[in-house]
Amino acid sequence: MPLMKSWLESANRPDCPFPLNNLPYGVFSTPGKDPHCGVAIGDRILDLTAMEKAGLMKLADKKVFDRPEWNAVMALGPDAWTRLRKLLFGFLADGSALRGQAERFMVPLADAKMHMPFTVAEFTDFYAGKNHAENVGAMFRGAENALPPNWLHIPIGYNGRASSVIVSGTDFRRPWGQLKGPQDDAPRFAPSQRFDLELELGAIVGQPSPYGQPISVAEADAMIFGYVLLNDWSARDIQAWEYQPLGPFQSKATATSISPWIVTREALEPFRCAGPERVHPLLDYLKEPGPMLYNIAMEVELTPKGGEPTVIARTNYREMYYSSAQQLAHHATAGGGMRVGDLLGSGTISGPVKDSRGCLLELTWAGKEPVTLSDGQTRTFIQDNDRITLRGNCHGDGYTLGFGDCTGVVLPALERPFR
């Protein structure tokens, strides 16, 4: 699909992440105004809350933009999602007779503060990247036993903390936790020293599934409202001590950062691509009815305090073994109902070569091979005051479709964790 031109010239630049083809949804505020709903276009935000109040944007019998979240719009369902996109095209397309009305409600992106775009109902993180799983497994179990016996048959996941999901730009402190090294006689309580990032894509569930009713992969795909970049920060030393026999717990409970803009499933349609060749045939309920992944180029940047940024990894979402739709379908098999606002983390997205690995655990091979930054500093894991930035872009015919940066700074641990 080629660039869809807007009357807003900034949206037509080939390097602009928010062309008319995209129209991602977010929640923003400006001085003196509370957080509310908007859509990014070029270097502007179209204020949908104000347009609805003025009677220019009607999506349902009741107001749905008069709140600091997109959950009410999600709950309306796919037909309403498509209708909203068409309404926005009508206001923003090149030559639109409604240009004057839309211009009244434009806010410069540079003047806006971004907030959580939706209320997270529940959060589930998966372990669905084959390159990542093979690398991590090889480190700790050897290459011959890298993948657990179930991995090629089932999308493995765990339930995380919805309360730990934060929007890009929210800094947080290094966690304390129970640590025990292989040479230690007993565990100790201390700040994590092996703190890591995980480059992921987050799928946002926009429609519920009935309690007790499994769903197909095709039904799951249609339930997904959109996607965000996701950094599932991980305390590897806490994880190493706690994860057997039940898996991650406090090692993943510090923070999960998401990008501020929800890129809709409809906007991503031109970038669909097929999944990998299967090592073993999947069970019927997990088989894809068509291409389920997306061609999204992704990168990780690390910036020390006062230092220069260094891109330490580049990869692509098409490397995943299981898609978000497959993860969602599997999630519902036991009967648990999915909810509007559920968030599914893809799992770490790693490619087949060293500089395409989506976390420091892999990039440094558990700390044995430090990464060198542009200023000569090295890293095995994240140090205090390091900033991590995730980026993701799709490249179309004459345009770029982006998610906005997903960034966060790891601040020093509390000196005294208890009052």
- Per annotation, catalytic residue among 132, 153, 331, 395: 132
3-state DSSP assignment of residue 400: strand
Structure tokens at 268: 């991503």
Residue type, 115: H
Max distance between CA atoms of the chain, in angstroms, equals 74
Residue type, 96: S
Distance CA 325, CA 201 (A): 12
Residue type, 2: P
Distance from first CA to last CA of the chain, Å, rounded?
Answer: 57
Exposure letters 67-84 (e unless 16+ CB within 10 A, then b): bbbbbbbbbbebebbeeb
The pairing of beta strand 123-126 with beta strand 343-345? parallel
Distance CA 36, CA 238 (A): 38
Distance CA 349, CA 317 (A): 6
Q: Is 330 a catalytic residue?
A: no
Task: Count Cβ atoms within 10 A of the Cβ of residue 144 and give its class: 0-12 exposed, 13-18 middle, 19 or more buried.
Answer: exposed
**Which parts of 225-359 fold into alpha helices (H)?**
236-242, 265-268, 324-331
Residue 36 β-bridge partners = 28
Distance CA 8, CA 5 (A): 8
Distance CA 96, CA 73 (A): 25
Query: Whose CA is closest to 388, among 239, 158, 196?
Result: 196
Instruction: Give the torsion through C-alpha atoms of 291, 292, 294, 300, to 10 deg.
Output: -140
Tokens 């839309």: give the residue. Answer: 102
Catalytic residues: 132
